[in-house]
C-alpha cells in the first residue's frame, strides 16, 4: 500500500473514530458530578479504617493494593526487558574496550553543569525521600518519590564525567535494589498468611492519623515501591544513556 493511500484511508477511519468517540463521551456523566459511590466512600474508608489522609495513596496501596502489585511487576518486567534488549548489542567486548579508551580521552563535562549537579543532588534526594515516606499523609507516594530519586541519581550521571561514572556505576546494586523492591511488595502482600488473614489484609497497627508512623501497610508498601521505582527508572535510563554513548562512537 502506498503512503498516500494509507494516509487517505487513515484519515477516513480517523474521522469515523472521532465521530464515534464524540458520541460515546456524550453518554458520560456531566462534568463536575462524579457518579461512582467510591468517590464518596473511599476517603471515608481510608480516613476511618486506615488512618490515611492522602486518599489517592490509600486507594493505590490498600483498596487497589492487589492491582498495584501487578502494576509494580509490570515496571519490573519492563526494566528487565529494556535491559535485556539494550545489552544484547554490547557483547562485542573489543569494540567496548576501544570505546572506553576513547572516552577517557574525550572532553569532560562543563564545570557549570558539574557545579549545578553537585548543588542539586542533595535537595533532590531529600525531596524524593520526603515524598516517598510521607506518601500516606501528603501528596506523593512511592511512584512519584521513586522517580524523583532516580532523577537525583541521573543528575550524578549527567554532572559527573559520564565515562568515569559509567565505569564505577554500581549497576548490579541497582539491579539488586530493583529485585528487592519488587520482592518486598510481594512478601508484604502475602505476609497476612502468617497471621491467618487474606492477602493484602493489613496486620500492622494503624497509629495516630497524621503522624509519620500511621496507616498500617500503606507507608511500608509506599517505601517498597519507592525503592523499586528508583531502581527500575535508573536502570532503564542508564541503559538508554549507555546507548547514546555507544552511538556517539560509531
Cell of 131: 515524598
Axis-axis angle for helices 93-105, 217-249 (nearest 10): 90
* Residues 6+ positions from 180 with CB-CB distance below 8 Å: 227, 228
Q: Which stretch binds another protein (CB under 8 A): 117-125, 152-160, 186-194, 234-242?
A: 234-242
Q: Which stretch binds another protein (CB under 8 A): 33-41, 95-103, 120-128, 179-187?
A: 33-41
143 belongs to the binding site for another protein (CB under 8 A): yes
DSSP state of 119: H
42 belongs to the binding site for another protein (CB under 8 A): yes
Q: CA 123, CA 227: separation in Å to the nearest integer? A: 18
Binding mask 79-118 for another protein (x = CB under 8 A): x-xx--xx-xx-----------------------------
Q: Cβ(87)–Cβ(238) under 8 Å? A: no
Nearest 10 degrees: Cα torsion 60, 222, 79, 184: -110
Pick from 50, 63, 174, 219: which binds another protein (CB under 8 A)?
63
Q: Which stretch binds another protein (CB under 8 A): 51-59, 112-120, 174-182, 189-197?
A: 51-59
- Measured in Å, how far apart are the chain's first and last C-alpha atoms? 34
Axis-axis angle for helices 217-249, 142-159 (nearest 10): 30
Pick from 66, 74, 115, 199: which binds another protein (CB under 8 A)?
74
User: C-beta of 199: minimal distance to another protein in Å?
Assistant: 19
Give contact residues for another protein (rule: CB under 8 A).
Answer: 3, 6-7, 10-11, 14, 17-18, 21-22, 25, 28-29, 31-34, 36, 38-39, 42-44, 46-47, 53-56, 58-60, 63-64, 67-68, 71, 74-75, 78-79, 81-82, 85-86, 88-89, 137-139, 141, 143, 210, 233, 236, 239-240, 243
Amino acid at each position: 500500500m502506498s503512503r498516500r493511500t494509507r494516509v487517505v484511508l487513515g484519515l477516513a477511519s480517523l474521522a469515523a473514530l472521532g465521530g464515534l468517540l464524540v458520541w460515546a463521551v456524550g453518554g458520560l456523566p456531566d462534568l463536575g458530578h462524579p457518579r461512582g459511590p467510591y468517590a464518596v466512600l473511599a476517603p471515608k474508608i481510608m480516613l476511618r479504617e486506615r488512618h490515611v489522609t492522602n486518599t489517592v495513596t490509600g486507594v493505590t496501596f490498600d483498596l487497589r493494593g492487589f492491582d498495584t502489585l501487578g502494576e509494580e511487576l509490570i515496571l519490573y518486567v519492563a526494566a528487565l526487558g529494556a535491559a535485556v534488549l539494550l545489552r544484547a548489542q554490547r557483547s562485542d567486548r573489543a569494540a567496548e574496550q576501544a570505546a572506553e579508551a576513547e572516552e577517557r580521552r574525550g572532553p569532560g563535562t562543563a564545570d557549570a553543569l558539574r557545579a549545578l549537579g553537585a548543588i542539586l543532588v542533595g535537595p533532590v534526594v531529600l525531596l524524593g525521600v520526603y515524598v516517598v515516606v510521607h506518601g500516606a499523609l501528603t501528596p506523593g507516594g512511592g511512584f512519584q518519590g521513586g522517580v524523583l530519586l532516580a532523577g537525583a541519581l541521573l543528575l550524578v550521571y549527567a554532572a559527573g564525567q559520564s565515562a568515569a561514572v559509567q565505569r564505577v556505576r554500581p549497576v548490579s546494586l541497582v539491579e539488586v535494589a530493583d529485585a528487592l523492591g519488587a520482592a518486598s511488595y510481594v512478601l508484604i502482600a502475602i505476609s497476612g498468611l502468617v497471621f491467618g488473614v487474606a492477602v493484602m489484609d493489613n496486620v500492622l497497627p494503624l497509629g495516630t492519623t497524621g503522624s509519620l508512623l500511621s496507616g498500617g501497610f500503606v507507608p511500608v508498601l509506599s517505601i517498597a515501591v519507592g525503592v523499586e521505582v528508583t531502581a527500575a527508572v535508573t536502570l532503564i535510563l542508564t541503559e538508554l544513556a549507555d546507548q547514546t554513548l555507544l552511538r556517539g562512537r560509531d
